[in-house]
Every structure is written in C-alpha cells, then in structure tokens.
Amino acid sequence: MLSEALTRAESLIRTIPDYPEPGVQFRDITPLLVDARALRTVIHAMIAPFEGSFDVVAGVEARGFLLAGAVAMEAGAGLVPIRKAGKLPLPAASVTYSLEYGTATIEAHDDIAVGTRVLLVDDVLATGGTLVAAHELVETLGGVVVGTAVLMELTALGGRDVVGDVHTVFTG
C-alpha cells in the first residue's frame, strides 16, 4: 500500500539539531536515499500530480539534484541543473535573491528551449527564496514552469506563502 510505503520512507528522514548552526533543525535525507524502495516511493509521489505535463526537470543544487535526476529518469524527461553562482562554465542567466542572512545567486546554462515545460524539483521548501528564484531563472531562459515538487515542506517557515502552489510529499 502506497501510504504505508510513504510512512516508511518518511521515517527514514533524520532531524539533526543545531546543524549547520544553533537553532537549525537540519533534515537529513541520506537514509531515505540509501533505501531503494523508499527512494522509488518518493520519486513516484513527486511525479504523480505532474505526470505527462513536463519535458524537463530543473533540479536545484545540491540535494535537489539527486531527486531531480531520479524524477527525470523515471519520467523519461531531460534534466537541467540550477547551480550556485560560479559553478557553471557558461552560465546564460542568473538570479540573485535574499536569504535570512544575506543574498545568494543561482545560475543555469541556456539549455532550455523556449516554451519547454519544466518541473522544478528541490529537497526542502523552507522560506521559499530559492524556489522563487529558480522559477524566475527558468522563465528568463524561456521555459514554462508547470509545477514545483519538493520532498519536504517545513511549514513553520512559511515558504508556501512565498512560492505559491507547491506539491510536497512530506511536511515537517
């Protein structure tokens, strides 16, 4: 049964207190990634609402890459990495956005053809700044964001209010 499989998969996510700094409750998805059955279960859950509606998956660095690659393979779609600034040899577009503690910039190559239907994938929705910037970046390159899927939403941080409609597998 799918709900039992999802419950099992969720139980594999560890919370590590005070990492990377005091007060932060880091969600470690590594145990879930190691378990092939759990990984397959969450990948199917991430794809389900968007089945057949996207051509390319855009994965946000860094853990979002892992999930996006699996989503792309399972869906038979392409993959576009959205990287932190300075990690790509030929960035075509970049977006700078605000964080609680400063700013950050993400970049992508110009590998998205105009009109390409894109599913954004990341591991965690926290405050939402990164996903809003990723959405803007995809549109700047000519893509059409058809949806956003994340493994886990940290509801207390209010990211959904910033990002809007997001499909989440788990909430925490």
- Beta strand 56-60 with 93-99 is unpaired
Residue type, 8: R
Contacts of 11 (CB under 8 A, 6+ apart): none
Domain 2-171 top-level CATH class: alpha beta
pLDDT reported for residue 2: 58
Average pLDDT over the chain, rounded to an integer? 94
The share of the chain scoring above pLDDT 70, in percent, equals 98
Cβ atoms 96, 123 nearer than 8 A? no
What's the mean pLDDT in 135-157? 96
| Rounded Cα distance, 154 and 105, in Å | 22
Q: Enumerate the domain spans of the chain.
A: 2-171
What's the mean pLDDT in 39-48? 98
Neighbours of 119 (CB within 10 A): 27
Q: Which residues are catalytic?
A: 63, 100
